[in-house]
Amino acid sequence: MNWQRLVGNDLASSTISIHLIISEAYMVLLLTHALWHVILSKASIPVNPTRFCEQHRRPPQEQGATEVKL
């Protein structure tokens, strides 16, 4: 048997295999990252943004608004 043919000494095939390994590793990283976000979103306490805004809303004078009389 020719060991060079078994190993794949061709530059093009080794470049393609390295590219595939890197892309597979990147896909695993992306899927792990997405799964981490799903786990964190399930574990966090939901916040009602409307109620939060009503509780922390400043009066218009503090926001820099001026009164306009018609």
pLDDT digits (tens, 9 = 90+) for 22-60: 999 999 999 999 998 888 777 665 655 555 555 556 655
Predicted local distance difference test score (pLDDT) of residue 27: 95
Model-wide pTM > 0.85:
no
Distance CA 3, CA 6 (A): 5
Distance CA 56, CA 53 (A): 5
Task: Tell me the longest C-alpha to C-alpha distance in the chain.
Answer: 96
Residues 6+ apart with CB under 8 A from 42: none
